[in-house]
Structure 1
Amino acid sequence: MRFRRWRLVAVVCLVLCALTACSTAQAPSRAPHPSPVSDVHAFDRFYDQKLVWGDCAPYATNGQSQDAFRTPGVECARLTVPLDYARPQGQTITVGVLRHKASDQTDKIGSLVMNPGGPGGSGMEAAAHLVQRVSGNAIGLRFDLVGFDPRGVGASQPRVHCLTDAERDAERQNDLGDGTSPGSAAAWAAQAKDFAGKCVQRTGADVLANVGTRDVVKDLDVLRAALGEKKLNYLGYSYGTQIGYSYAEAFPANVRTLLLDGAIDPSESQADSLVGQGNGFNRAFGMFAAECAKHAGCAIGQDPSRATQTFTDLISPLRNNPAPAGGGRKLSYDDAMTALVEAMYSQQSWPLLNSGLNLLRAGDGSVLMKLADGYYDRGADGRYSSLQDAYYAVRCVDNPRVTDPGAVEAIHQRMLTAAPFLGGGRPDEGEPDVCGAWPAASTSQPHHPTVPGLPPPLVISSTNDPVTPYQAGVNLAGDMGGGLLTYDGAQHTAFLHGNQCVDVNGLAYLVDGTLPPPGTRCPT
């Protein structure tokens, strides 16, 4: 599991209304220096740069981005930033940026910068996918929609790179067990050490040391200035909410609006967040089982109380006999669990999951493999995005390391208890193991943010979000002095996913900063 990027779920409808309140864009401000340096002009070359926009095709890194970057009207550029903000005269790197201009340039409010989460999700791809959805509403009419690939991700250079495509495929087939036996625990630890070593070898220790959220928000402020914006308008989903509240802490005077959907609790430890995700996915599985039981042909039966055991019995044979999945590939036990987790992100994926489980019963693993590939961001061409590698690189420097093997195992035991539907597999892909072996020191730690004077953000939280629990949104809104919009639904993130109530409130906030009345709830 991971703080997953915003999901491009199917949409029933979008609000096609343009709200009329406006704001005038102003010249960019000189921000506080991102890091203490002796030369007060050390960052001028970054803040004063002009973006050179052009064709997005050269920015594509795989089949998914190639398709996304064919969206009509999008243009791309590279933003130059320091690799290490403590050494602004040293090595530089680039951040990929995609833009679609507002259709009404005369009444434009400014740029709306968005990030879909992950960590490791491509903001460029996500923004390109959003273009059609926002066409005709307040965002498409009055904002330049901007997506960026955070440092180390996607089109940004250099990109975090740990495993080859072939190595990632092989890892998915490698069943190391649940880690409860000495041999299994040792195998997980060895794989984590090998993974971390390959990340250093193929990415560079200096890049890994400076790839965390601490540095991403500094890049975001440089981007704000390069876009010509005095104040930032920001839309963050899932991990993107962490970028948003971290930016607000670093540059509170440079914020106009922050819409944070699917919030991460900034005060929560890495272990507690993983356990919380386990609880969330387990709750979503129970809801899936209850809904499935109402229909004939439910792959896990008509008795929801037996759903966990039925699912476990169905996928357990895959440990020794992976199922054919087409194209010479085999569906492993871990891939079957990953397919289930992928489907829990949205109720709209539940019918596909049920179909895949029924096909697996007949010996066909192809549908479940497609779901698992979606989770890992593997394209039809067999190429993976940088999502997985960048995920670990960011998570492991954003949180204090846990190196004691006993403490790591205690985290795993808590997670397995929280998510019994996973049938004894490790639901976190070994994150505590990997981060325990990570070569770079942490650059952040859990805390309660305090940002006096910040314009109130809008936090959207779904009551049955399996990834980022509802209470996390409540806590973040309270910490930031913001408004809370509750969505009564079982999916991860809600804004621009087709709920008219959510979209109307979100659009009103972005246009003129109007928060919904306290206690506002949006039904499914």
Structure 2
Amino acid sequence: MRGIPATAATAALSVALAATLAACGAGEDGERGGTAAPSATATAPGAIAWGPCTDIQRPGGQSAAPEPGEECGKLAVPLDYADPSAGTIDIALIRVKATGPGERIGSLLFNFGGPGASGVDTLAQAAKVLGSLRTRYDLVSFDPRGVERSSGVRCGGTAEMDEFTAVDSTPEDAAERAEIEQVIEEFAGACEKTSGKVLPYIGTVSAAEDMERIRQALGDAKLNYVGMSYGTELGAVYATRYPKNVGRFLLDAPVDPSLSMREHTLAQTAGFQQAYESFLKDCVKDGQCKIGADQDAADENVAALLKKLNDKPLPVGSGRELTEGLAITAIASALYSEQTWPFLDQALSTAIRGNGQALMALADNYNGREPDGSYSTIMSSFPAISCVDTAERPDEAELLRTEKEALKISPLFGSAGMGTICSSWPIPGNDESKKIDASGSAPIVVIAGTGDPATPYEWGPKLVEQLGTGVLVTYKGEGHGAYLSGDACVKQVSDDYLLDGKVPAEGTTCPKE
């Protein structure tokens, strides 16, 4: 679940995953709904035509060798499940076949978050890290509808996306506020112009229906699934619609789908502020912190940098400038993983001395901006999916109230949140994905982290309650997500469940005390 900054409607897993790979090698609270019946007009699943993967974004570049046993394919599904005559949409998939030893269990489907993260690219990068699961599962992931190869939503070219991602999320006066509103309206208009055909049909409920078609096409009797961040919401919606088809479900870094936009914004603001304070405390503990000798001094130096950037953006070459908005994005991105905190200290200190390239690199990574200026779809598909998933369209007064409350929590990360975009969104949304009740499903394991900035810990128990079949595991650690954190206890608990079906006991906590 992507968090701060709000002008980009911001979990992406990308920063945390990149760090792990380097180290290893919403409307008003919805009523709980009953089990929703599958669409009466649902069509029979098609077949997946598997073949070589030809366009994977790999850490080593396009020339990097594919993972042995890796293959890609497409599955045609209805564009509109309520009206199959409206045509189909192709869902792009990737599979990395099981290696053994041990008897193959079946397929294990992943969604790595967002909404809007490419499961095809991410699984290709993460296959080695997930090696223990691959011994008995074919690892499978997909680009959800509206993402990258699956009719990915795009909202303008490089110039438009650069303007959108650079805008400040905390306006200081009416002129800045008007500028933000104009940029967002232009962004939403570009989305409708280039992707209007698919915009109404890319919500989480439709993506959950796609997962059922994927299960059938893979030939699995039950769906075994790992959902991270937004992937926990997608998994919860699937389990609500198809509780009898739930196999082994692991939901890591859980989202509370029932929250209103205001509640979501305030919780994430507090989460990122907590993570930022933890970063500062960690930075100064050994006297080696580059941005300040103590926590107060470091915080003041960062605040001074941001004020300076607001007054005068910092040139970083190639005609680009580091704005206050981009710097806040960079800070937030590094808070997703404790492993990136030392780099954040270095990046902030060099920016304070007049070199903003490292902060810009962090922001670009988070925003999906490539060195050639092209963007992945994540900054477009994230708001597109999020706004379809809620009926809320807050007015200016509501946005200002939320912003005021958020700024009290965090002057650094406070903003009006996702509502700033959904208020201008050209497509109406609905609250169907907020109605979670997986009664009748097999046990679903939910892992929540106490130091998670993007999906605060309290969302874990709330999702467990809504599911009705959830079992909570508490991860006492920093960063977004637990399974890829490197914690041995989390990995053992998760693998015991996914590989051997051992459901963790209620009250399980990691690391073990």
Which residue does 1:10 correspond to in 2? 20
Deviations 1:269-314 (A, max 9, x none): 1221111111001011111111112233424323323543321112
Q: Which of 423, 426, 444 is the matching residue for 1:457? A: 444
TM-aligned CA distance change 1:65 to 1:34, over 3 Å: farther
The alpha carbon displacement at 1:267 in A equals: 1.8
Counterpart mapping for 1:113-192 below 5 A? 113-135=109-131, 137=132, 139-156=133-150, 158-175=151-168, 178-179=170-171, 181-192=173-184
Tell me which amino acid in the other structure corresponds to 1:73. G
Q: SS at 1:70's partner residue?
A: coil
Report if the CA contact (8 A) 1:118-1:239 is conserved: yes
Which residue does 2:52 correspond to in 1? 55
Which residue does 1:25 correspond to in 2? none
The alpha carbon displacement at 1:262 in A equals: 0.3
Which residue does 1:29 correspond to in 2? none
Counterpart mapping for 1:360-509 below 5 A? 360-422=351-413, 427=415, 431-444=418-431, 447=434, 449-480=436-467, 481-509=469-497
Tell me which amino acid in the other structure corresponds to 1:154. E
Moved more, 221-230 or 408-417: 408-417
The alpha carbon displacement at 1:335 in A equals: 1.2
User: Which whole-Å CA distance do the structure 1 matches of 2:61 and 2:385 have between them?
Assistant: 21
Counterpart mapping for 1:56-455 below 5 A? 56-57=53-54, 59-60=55-56, 66=62, 70-104=66-100, 107-135=103-131, 137=132, 139-156=133-150, 158-175=151-168, 178-179=170-171, 181-204=173-196, 206-422=197-413, 427=415, 431-444=418-431, 447=434, 449-455=436-442
TM-aligned CA distance change 1:169 to 1:13, over 3 Å: closer
Deviations 1:432-480 (A, max 9, x none): 1210111111132574622221101000111110110111112212332
User: Which whole-Å CA distance do the structure 2 matches of 1:201 and 1:61 have between them?
Assistant: 27
Q: SS at 1:107's partner residue?
A: coil
User: Which whole-Å CA distance do the structure 2 matches of 1:253 and 1:523 have between them?
Assistant: 32
Tell me which amino acid in the other structure corresponds to 1:5. L
Report if the CA contact (8 A) 1:339-1:371 is conserved: yes
User: Which whole-Å CA distance do the structure 2 matches of 1:146 and 1:68 have between them?
Assistant: 20
Tell me which amino acid in the other structure corresponds to 1:460. I
The alpha carbon displacement at 1:515 in A equals: 1.5
The alpha carbon displacement at 1:521 in A equals: 1.1
The alpha carbon displacement at 1:322 in A equals: 2.3
TM-aligned CA distance change 1:67 to 1:164, over 3 Å: farther
Count of residue pairs brought into register by the alignment = 491
TM-aligned CA distance change 1:393 to 1:412, over 3 Å: same
Tell me which amino acid in the other structure corresponds to 2:87. Q
Report if the CA contact (8 A) 1:69-1:125 is conserved: no
Moved more, 234-243 or 80-89: 80-89
Q: SS at 1:94's partner residue?
A: strand
TM-aligned CA distance change 1:3 to 1:400, over 3 Å: farther
Task: Using the aligned pairs only, state the percent identity.
Answer: 37
Deviations 1:92-144 (A, max 9, x none): 11010000000138710000000011010011112112211122x2x111000
Moved more, 455-464 or 68-77: 68-77
User: Which whole-Å CA distance do the structure 1 matches of 2:158 and 2:58 have between them?
Assistant: 12
User: Which whole-Å CA distance do the structure 1 matches of 2:145 and 2:352 have between them?
Assistant: 43
The alpha carbon displacement at 1:229 in A equals: 0.8
Q: Which of 482, 502, 513 is the matching residue for 1:514? A: 502
Deviations 1:333-364 (A, max 9, x none): 11111111111111111110111111112211
Tell me which amino acid in the other structure corresponds to 1:294. K
Tell me which amino acid in the other structure corresponds to 2:330. A
Moved more, 315-324 or 239-248: 315-324
Which residue does 1:20 correspond to in 2? none
Tell me which amino acid in the other structure corresponds to 1:450. D
For structure 1, the 5+ residue unaligned runs are: 15-31
TM-aligned CA distance change 1:503 to 1:105, over 3 Å: closer
User: Which whole-Å CA distance do the structure 2 matches of 1:150 and 1:287 have between them?
Assistant: 34
Report if the CA contact (8 A) 1:292-1:302 is conserved: no
User: Which whole-Å CA distance do the structure 2 matches of 1:186 and 1:13 have between them?
Assistant: 44
Moved more, 321-330 or 343-352: 321-330
Moved more, 190-199 or 241-250: 190-199
Report if the CA contact (8 A) 2:199-2:384 is conserved: yes
Moved more, 316-325 or 251-260: 316-325
User: Which whole-Å CA distance do the structure 2 matches of 1:63 and 1:500 have between them?
Assistant: 25
State the TM-score, normalizing by the size of structure 1. Answer: 0.88
The alpha carbon displacement at 1:370 in A equals: 0.9
Deviations 1:240-278 (A, max 9, x none): 000000000011111111100000012211221111111
Q: SS at 1:234's partner residue?
A: strand
TM-aligned CA distance change 1:370 to 1:327, over 3 Å: same
Q: SS at 2:451's partner residue?
A: coil
Report if the CA contact (8 A) 2:155-2:191 is conserved: yes
User: Which whole-Å CA distance do the structure 2 matches of 1:10 and 1:327 have between them?
Assistant: 30
Report if the CA contact (8 A) 1:400-1:445 is conserved: no
Report if the CA contact (8 A) 2:272-2:332 is conserved: yes
Tell me which amino acid in the other structure corresponds to 2:142. F
The alpha carbon displacement at 1:368 in A equals: 0.7
Q: SS at 1:55's partner residue?
A: coil
Moved more, 194-203 or 3-12: 3-12
User: Which whole-Å CA distance do the structure 1 matches of 2:332 and 2:60 have between them?
Assistant: 21
Tell me which amino acid in the other structure corresponds to 1:43. T
